Amino acid sequence: MGRTRRDHLHAGQDKRPKNTEVYEVGKSGLWSRFVSSMRQPIESLFNWIIEKTDIQNGSKIRSGEGLFVHCYGKLAASLFILCFNP
């Protein structure tokens, strides 16, 4: 169940040998759930950083070096808040 045979491929269309089993991941939703479970904590972390440090407010930055100073400074401030804020 959930497997199909790829017996009728044209030559050169797929590099897999004939008669190989292919699992249809998209129909079950497993891949979508996996991606969502990996993405959610990362999005939560970045939303917390944006909320605490206002990292997206960098409209007066004029150079690449200034951008690095802004980003690393804000990330350092967020780590400080994370470590020392009860």
First to last CA, the chain: 52
In this predicted structure, what is the pLDDT of residue 4? 53
Which tens digit of pLDDT belongs to each residue from 4-51?
Answer: 555 454 555 556 667 776 666 666 788 888 889 999 999 999 999 999
Please tell me the pTM assigned to this model: 0.58
pLDDT score, position 5: 53
What pLDDT was estimated at residue 50? 93
